[in-house]
């Protein structure tokens, strides 16, 4: 009986050793957590260059699955490369788990033996990289706030608008570029502004971050547009899911990521996110960015039942 137990233990140890030295597809694993949406973490990973200028290519993204997985190559020195696979998992509505699988190009049985008894440079480089990323995520997370998801009635509006093509990162610049043009049009046609501008998202490619949106200016009267690129539209009151965003409006898409997590938590991960951003403050009035407010709403008639 004792020999059978010994054989079993020996067999298990042999299989574990074979897996550790020859089968496992990574050398080192690092795990940490963030109180931010997965999309926020995902984009911070994709743009992290180990705190170096963009021209110094320290990190190269090889492939990615939006908000879930990223594969990268990190070049800590001229003669070394570390392959990294990031996995993002949502633990609950407010907590994201980040797992990094690190593998050295100079790996193999020798490195894995060293890992059992010492801390080689590969581990130090991997830890420094992950710690720097974590500090970046924590620092940037202080630039905005999000409320929980609730439900509101959005009042009816009539408005003029232009169609804009941009990315999430250039949306605010596109709005600024068109702001003066539309205001000049309103003045020329004696149209009175009824409320703050808002943005109505028409499409969002999560892989490329490219978007198309209507940049809308509410007006007090019905209007027949005189310009080919400026349109008039009316929308009746509707019920919508809402997340209140606080922060610079260039970061308002953080609420889109939160909606994505919300639907994933409710088993609707394929839900298309095409929100409307209703701005409640005028940035030209000054004040700290974190005080700016916007309601990011998703009409319930867009949502798969």
Q: Are residues 139 and 152 in the same domain?
A: no
Contacts of 162 (CB under 8 A, 6+ apart): 178, 181, 182, 214, 215, 229, 230, 231
Q: Are residues 48 and 79 in the same domain?
A: yes
Q: Which of 107-116, 208-217, 262-271 reaches the highest mean pLDDT?
A: 208-217
Q: Which among 69, 127, 139, 123 has a CA at the least distance from the CA of 97?
A: 69
Angular region, 287: left φ>0, alpha ψ -120 to 50, beta rest: left
Residue 137 has pLDDT above 70, yes or no: yes
Paired tokens of 32: 């940490």
CB atoms within 10 A of CB 75: 16
**Alpha carbon 1 to chain centroid, angstroms:** 57
Domain range for 22: 2-144
First to last CA, the chain: 60
pLDDT for the residue numbered 175: 95
Average pLDDT, the chain: 88
| Residue 95's CATH number | 3.30.310
| Rounded Cα gap, residues 254 and 256, in angstroms | 5
Among 144, 170, 202, give the residue marking a domain's end.
Answer: 144
Residue 284 has pLDDT above 50, yes or no: yes
Tell me the pLDDT tens digit for each residue of 179-227.
999 999 999 999 999 999 999 999 999 999 999 999 999 999 999 887 8
Tell me how far CA of residue 210 lies from CA of 171, 259, 264, in angstroms. Answer: 9, 18, 22
In this structure, are residues 36 and 137 in contact, taking their beta carbons and an 8 Å threshold? yes
pLDDT for the residue numbered 109: 66
| Rounded Cα gap, residues 214 and 162, in angstroms | 6
Task: Determine which of 99-103, 144-148, 283-287 has the lowest per-residue pLDDT on average.
Answer: 283-287
In this prediction the pTM is 0.88
User: Which residue bears the tokens 């990315």?
Assistant: 167
Contacts of 110 (CB under 8 A, 6+ apart): none
**Alpha carbon 250 to chain centroid, angstroms:** 13
More confident residue, 41 or 107: 41
Q: Which among 87, 88, 42 has a CA at the least distance from the CA of 206?
A: 42
| Count of domains observed in the chain | 2
Sign of the alpha-carbon dihedral angle for 261, 267, 270, 274? negative
Among 88, 113, 144, give the residue marking a domain's end.
Answer: 144
Q: Are residues 69 and 102 in the same domain?
A: yes
Residue 22: which pLDDT band, with cuts at 50, 70 and 90? very low
Q: Are residues 140 and 173 in the same domain?
A: no
Q: Determine phi and psi for 81, rounding to 5 degrees.
A: -135, 135
Contacts of 181 (CB under 8 A, 6+ apart): 162
Among 144, 171, 194, give the residue marking a domain's end.
Answer: 144
What are the residue ranges of helices labelled H in 232-293? Answer: 254-265
pLDDT for the residue numbered 269: 64
Residue 47 has pLDDT above 80, yes or no: yes
Q: Are residues 171 and 286 in the same domain?
A: yes
Q: Are residues 232 and 86 in the same domain?
A: no
Q: Are residues 126 and 140 in the same domain?
A: yes
Q: Are residues 79 and 109 in the same domain?
A: yes
Cross-strand pairs, 146: 245
Q: Are residues 95 and 232 in the same domain?
A: no
Q: Are residues 156 and 135 in the same domain?
A: no
CB atoms within 10 A of CB 176: 12
Percent of the chain exceeding pLDDT 90 equals 68
pLDDT for the residue numbered 73: 95
Residue 5 has pLDDT above 80, yes or no: no
Q: Are residues 295 and 152 in the same domain?
A: yes
Sign of the alpha-carbon dihedral angle for 22, 26, 30, 35? negative
CA angle 46, 48, 53 (to 5 degrees): 125
| Residue 159's CATH number | 3.20.80.10
Q: Are residues 23 and 82 in the same domain?
A: yes
The distance between the two most distant Cα atoms of the chain, rounded to a whole number of Å, is 97
CA torsion 260→261→266→268, rounded to 10°?
A: 30
């Amino acid at each position: 009986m004792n020999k059978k137990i010994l054989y079993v233990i020996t067999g298990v140890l042999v299989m574990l050793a074979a897996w550790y030295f020859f089968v496992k597809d990574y050398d080192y694993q690092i795990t940490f957590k963030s109180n931010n949406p997965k999309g926020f973490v995902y984009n911070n990973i994709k743009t992290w260059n180990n705190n170096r200028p963009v021209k110094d290519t320290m990190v190269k993204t090889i492939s990615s699955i939006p908000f879930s997985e990223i594969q990268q190559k990190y070049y800590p020195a001229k003669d070394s490369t570390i392959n990294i696979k990031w996995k993002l998992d949502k633990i609950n509505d407010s907590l994201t788990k980040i797992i990094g699988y690190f593998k050295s190009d100079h790996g193999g049985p020798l490195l894995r033996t060293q890992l059992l008894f010492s801390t080689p440079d590969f581990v130090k480089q991997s830890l420094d990289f992950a710690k720097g990323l974590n500090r970046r995520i924590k620092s940037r997370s202080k630039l905005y706030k999000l409320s929980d998801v609730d439900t509101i009635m959005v009042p009816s509006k009539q408005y003029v608008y232009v169609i804009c093509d941009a990315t999430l990162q250039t949306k605010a610049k596109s709005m600024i570029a068109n702001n003066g043009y539309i205001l000049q049009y309103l003045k020329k046609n004696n149209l009175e502004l009824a409320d703050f501008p808002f943005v109505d998202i028409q499409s969002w490619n999560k892989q490329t971050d490219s978007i198309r949106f209507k940049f809308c200016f509410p007006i007090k009267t019905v209007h027949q547009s005189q310009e080919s690129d400026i349109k008039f539209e009316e929308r009746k009151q509707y019920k919508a899911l809402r997340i209140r965003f606080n922060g610079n409006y260039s970061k308002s898409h953080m609420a889109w990521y939160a909606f994505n997590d919300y639907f994933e938590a409710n088993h609707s991960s394929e839900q298309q996110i095409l929100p409307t951003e209703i701005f409640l403050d005028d940035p030209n009035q000054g004040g700290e960015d974190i005080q700016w407010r916007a309601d990011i709403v998703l009409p319930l008639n867009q949502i798969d039942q």
